[in-house]
Structures are given as structure tokens and as C-alpha cells.
Amino acid sequence: MTICPTSNNDRVLRISFPVLLLLMLLCSGGNLSAQKKPRQTRRELTEQNLDLTRQLDSLQRRLAFVEDSLKYARREVDSLSRGPVRHSFDPFPTLSVRSYDKNRVDSLISLFSTQTHLSYMAVDTADYSAPFQGPDATDEQYIQKLSKMGTIMQIPYNQAVRTYIERYSIQWKGIMPQVIGLCYYYMPIFEESLSKYDLPLELKVLPIIESLLNPTATSRAGARGLWQFILSAARSYDLRVDNFIDERLDPYKASDAAARLLRDNYEVFGDWALAISAYNCGMGGVQRAINRAGGKTDYWSVYPYLPHETRNYVPSFVGMLYALTYRDELGIEAERIPMPLSTDTFDVTGKVHLGQVSSLVGIPLDDLRSLNPQYYRDIIPDDRPSYPLILPHSYSSAFAQCKDSVATHKADQFLTASVLKEPAGQKVSGTSSRKGGGVAYKVKSGDTLSHIAARNHCTVRQLKSWNNLRSDRLRVGQVLYIY
């Protein structure tokens, strides 16, 4: 290859034929190799993105713990205020959370089953006409504090909001430390999904209102998971629900679906208070309330016409946001959480029982269930090339060494025909199991919805809601899910 000048003093690159031929071959080879590389499917790309997201969440939790420790140290050294403080609800609350201690871990399910039941009973039946007598704070002081929370959404205020502020801040002080402790684990997951769709981050408080951060919470209407999806809504947003997997219980996939649902609600109503209300009662419920309000679309004009159980949904949201934002001033500290601050995700191939993983690696079975609640029968199916399994970081090395043998380890003990047909803890009557799972019932000749409902102690309306049925007609062989 030589370079020679031209008559107009410009320099032109002159390439010899052998060099040019070599360059052409290299380029051709590169194109061929690029063509031979198989294109990844949309599902593969989605799974890779989910895995990267989980790794990022794990790093965020570890970083947040360090940052909070530094904040605590600075606060102890310099206790003098340097001016008015503007609060914002960050996803890594409080300073008293300590690192994960395997020897003192309790099951997430047993910790919060009673509290979740309390949330449905106490919140839905509270007497809002008689406000709780809390601190001697004026409405103006509450409004001022709400305005300083640094939220994107416009926060409404009235007597119902004040009632919820005082209930969560004072009356529920026995529950809030547990909730705040769990925020350390779950808030990065919620925040990631909300950021993905460019939604206000304060919406991450909604799962606390819905489930008190119990990923296996089940309502009387059959809604399940952190975000309390009913079956029809779950399937509308591509959440898988079958005999082995209920993705309503998967914190990552349910959070992504909830963010899309909230985005759709806002696109319809253009107001976050109405969008949040629609999350509770559906778009149809909010639209009917707007029609009854004469077409008015501001929240407090629509408020009296909302379903009774929905009217206090937004005030409850604001009250929880307030309690979490001003938790330090209120003297609410987080309890030790039964969740690891650092986790790793592995792809598992083949049909695997969580008991096999527990037996092989030594991790408590309840810990596996808490981190992987979507496998509500403890079984990871084999109908896909692989499924994700989340483990505490302290067990990652041990699992990596025996990952290839986990599917065969004590398979005759954990994957028996009886376990695969009807797992332990599942009740054939159709009532909820100890883990809140549903029962699959195959319709027989002569069955009707009323007969099936009577045998399983539920209502026809519940059966239709759980199975997204629009009519009472059934066909032989049809599978119904009963919760």
C-alpha cells in the first residue's frame, strides 16, 4: 500500500490489488459470521433484561445500605440543623436495618399473614366520619408537610386524608416498622418498573396499601400478590397463572404489569388520583363516577360517586406516603427484615422442587419460598428452556457448584406422582391453602357454576371473576381455578 500526491497537492490513498483483495475477504467473512449468528427471540431478550435488572437491584440494595450507614454517621456527628429540610420518600428507608442474618430469618409468609388480614379488615371498615384523635396538628401544618414531600403528583388533602395520616403514623405504629423493613428489599423492584415507563416514583407506595408487602397475600375477591391482581387483569397484562406458576406473586413481573396498568389508567383519565382509583375499582368504576358527577373530572368532584371501598383508596395512599416520608420525625424505625440485602439469580433447567435446592445447598425452604413466591407449589416446571431462581448471595457459590445436578438430586423423594398431582398443603375443597394457592377443577358432565360454587364454599360471582368468565355456560373438560 503506497500513498502518492496528485497534481492538485491532495493526497490520495492507492491500495495494491493483493491488499484490496485481503480487505474484501475480511469484510465478507465478517458479514458471513454476522449472518450465521442466530437472532435472539423477544422472550430471550426480555429474560436477559430481567436478569440484568435483578442484578442491578441487588447492587442497589447493597449500595443503599452503605449510604444510609454514612448518613447515620453524619447525623450523629452533626445534629445541628442547617435550615428547613425538604423531605422526599427514598426507596431505602431507615438506618436501623442490619445485614441479613441467616440464623434469625423467619418466613415472610408467617410474619405477615395476620397483618395482611388486618389491612383488609381494618382499612375497609374504618369509621371515617369519626377521625382518629392524633397529634395537635392543624390542617395547615399537614398541608405544608405534604407540599414538602417532593412528589411529582399533586397530593390531595381533606379530612379523609388526615384520618389516614394519623392512623398510619400513630395507630398502626406496631405494623409500620415491619413494612419499612420490607421496603428495603421491594422498593428498588417497584422503582425500576415505574422508571421504565416514566411514571411518578411515589406510586411505589401502592403495594403497601394493597398487600402490606406480602407477596402471597390473597384477598376475599381472589386478588393475589403484592399488587393484588385479579385473574382477568393478570391475564390482560400477560401474567401467567396455571397449576405451577402464578406470576401475580412474582415481584418483578407483577410490578412491570402494574406499571403498565397505571400508565394505561393515566392515559385515559389524565389525573393521577383518578388513575389510582381506577387501579382499585377499574376504569369502568371511575368512568361511571365521572358520569354521575356531570362529567367533572377533578378528584374531589368525582369522589362521592366512587364505589364505597374505593373512596378511601387515594387518602390511604397519601397517608402511607406521609408516614414513610416523615418516619424519622414520627419515631418509626425499621425492624430486621427476613429478606437478604444481596441476591443472585440463576437459570434453572428441568423440573425442580424447591426442596431439592434446600436439601442440596442447605438454604431454609421458607427462604426460597419468600424469594421465589411465584412457584407457589414449590415446583419449577420444565416447559421452557429455563426458569429464574433467586438465592441469597451467601448461597450462590454453593449452588453454582451443584447447579447441574439439582434436577436429579432426591428426585424420587421430592417429585413423586402424588406431589406433582396435588402438592402438600393444597385443599381439594377449593379454599385457600396454607400458602394461598388455588385449586384447578376440571368441569364434568352435569356441572354448573352454582353446583361447583356450593361444593367449594364460594359464590358464582367469585368463580366468574377468578376465571374471567362472561357467561354461565361451561363445557366438559374446561378447567376452573378456585381460590
Q: Which residues have a catalytic role annotated? A: 210
Q: How, if at all, do strands 439-442 and 479-482 pair?
A: antiparallel
Cβ proximity of 391 and 399 under 8 Å: yes
Q: Which three cell numbers stand for residue 272?
A: 393521577
Cβ proximity of 386 and 349 under 8 Å: yes
Per-residue HEC secondary structure of the chain comes to CEEEECCCCCEEEECCHHHHHHHHHHHHHHHHHHHHCCCCCHHHHHHHHHHHHHHHHHHHHHHHHHHHHHHHHHHHHCCCCCCCCCCCCCCCCCCCCCCCCHHHCCCHHHHHHHHHHHHHHHHHCCCCCCCCCCCCCCHHHHHHHHHCCCCCCCCCCCHHHHHHHHHHHHHCCCCHHHHHHHHHHHHHHHHHHHHHCCCCHHHHHHHHHHHCCCCCCECCCCCECCCCECHHHHHHCCCCECCCCEHHHCHHHHHHHHHHHHHHHHHHHCCHHHHHHHHHHHHHHHHHHHHHCCCCCCHHHHHHHCCHHHHCHHHHHHHHHHHHHCHHHHCCCCCCCCCCCCEEEEEECCCEEHHHHHHHHCCCHHHHHHHCCCCCCCEECCCCCCEEEEEEHHHHHHHHHHHHHCCCCCHHHHCCHHHHHCCCCCCCCCCCCCCCCCEEEECCCCCCHHHHHHHCCCCHHHHHHHCCCCCCCCCCCCEEEEC
